């Protein structure tokens, strides 16, 4: 799980290093196009399992939602510090918890409601509206967290019908299709350096998902979940060292509150011996 966190922080650092010359939608599109090389081994089981129109419909809907979320994520990378992006993105599992109660029949007990409220307080600590000027990047990453939450609710529906490899392959294919018209609208010819960086981004993201799966096989989610907070530590450190971003203690405090709330929700699910619906924080990445 430590390696997983490093992989996903590497993704954010590389996208930040790439800069804003390439529009956000195009950068996201190229990341998924280059990542399709990892989908090729999954094509045979995909077409063998995904024969139902409902599966293709759910996958297409998830691809559209995830496409918008990824575009907003790439945009926020050019606007606000790494630590703030990482901390606010911790809200995705909270949105999933709310959505699971509204649409999937999950019980929203008082303890869960208290954890959700705590997470929202953590978000307010990070954003501090009224005490500082909010950048469009802040609104973009809030939108990203919400859209990723919606994406993983759809993933839950798909996971009940097909294997995880098919779910991953479907996402990669449909997000590539969904991003294509957005990328074409503001196309800028990429330089070789940018293509190399985006391929490394795709590779690091794929490796992160693989090591995350290994972690889930080796230990319960209640053990692996708290380790995800290290991502905020690394994002803060890399932001300061590589991009001269000041260390904001409010962001760290807010991230701790959100992470504590998410860990509590995960722990309660384990105690109740229910199938987890809330994805762990690393799962809500690009």
State the pLDDT at residue 40: 82
Domains of the chain by residue range: 2-283
State the pLDDT at residue 135: 92
Strands (E), 122-246: none
Phi, psi for 129 (deg, rounded to 5)? -60, 140
Q: What is the pLDDT of residues 160-182, one digit of tens each?
A: 787 777 787 888 899 999 999 99
**What whole-number percentage of the chain has pLDDT above 70?**
90
The pair of structure tokens assigned to 261 is: 């709330």
State the pLDDT at residue 167: 80
Q: Average model confidence (pLDDT) for the chain?
A: 84
- For residues 255 and 122, the answer to whether their CB atoms sit within 8 Å is yes
Query: 244 in the Ramachandran plot: left (φ > 0), alpha (ψ -120 to 50) or beta?
Result: left
- For residues 87 and 251, the answer to whether their CB atoms sit within 8 Å is yes
Stretch 148-155: mean pLDDT: 86
State the pLDDT at residue 259: 83
Coil, helix or strand for 129?
strand
Please give the Cα distance from 226 to 190 (Å, whole number): 38
Please give the Cα distance from 14 to 34 (Å, whole number): 15
Q: What is the pLDDT of residues 130-141, one digit of tens each?
A: 788 899 999 999
Beta bridge partners of 132: 129
Dihedral of alpha carbons 25, 31, 33, 36, sign: negative
Q: Is the pLDDT of residue 98 over 80?
A: yes
Please give the Cα distance from 56 to 251 (Å, whole number): 40
Q: What is the pLDDT of residues 24-58, one digit of tens each?
A: 999 999 999 998 888 887 777 777 777 788 888 98
């Amino acid at each position: 799980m430590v390696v997983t966190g490093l992989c996903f922080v590497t993704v954010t650092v590389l996208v930040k290093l790439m800069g804003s010359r390439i529009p956000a939608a195009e950068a996201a599109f190229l990341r998924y196009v280059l990542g399709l090389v990892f989908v090729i081994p999954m094509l045979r089981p995909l077409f063998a399992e995904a024969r139902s129109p409902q599966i293709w419909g759910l996958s297409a809907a998830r691809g559209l939602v995830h496409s918008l979320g990824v575009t907003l994520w790439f945009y926020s990378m050019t606007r606000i510090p790494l630590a703030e992006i990482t901390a606010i993105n911790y809200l995705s599992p909270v949105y999933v918890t709310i959505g699971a109660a509204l649409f999937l029949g999950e019980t929203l007990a008082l303890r869960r409601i208290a954890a959700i409220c705590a997470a929202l307080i953590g978000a307010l600590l990070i954003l501090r509206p009224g005490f500082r000027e909010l950048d469009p990047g802040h609104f973009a990453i809030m939108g990203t967290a919400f859209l990723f939450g919606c994406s993983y609710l759809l993933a839950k529906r798909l996971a009940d019908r097909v294997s995880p490899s098919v779910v991953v392959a479907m996402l990669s294919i449909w997000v590539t299709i969904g991003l294509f018209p957005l990328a074409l609208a503001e196309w800028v010819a990429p330089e070789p350096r940018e293509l190399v960086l985006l391929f490394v981004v795709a590779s690091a993201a794929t490796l992160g998902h693989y090591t995350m799966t290994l972690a889930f096989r080796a230990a319960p989610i209640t053990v692996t979940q708290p380790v995800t907070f290290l991502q905020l530590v690394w994002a803060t450190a890399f932001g300061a060292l590589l991009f001269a971003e000041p260390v904001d203690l409010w962001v760290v405090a807010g991230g701790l509150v959100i992470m504590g709330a998410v860990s509590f929700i995960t722990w309660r699910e384990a105690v109740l011996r229910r199938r987890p619906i809330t994805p762990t924080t690393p799962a809500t990445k690009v």
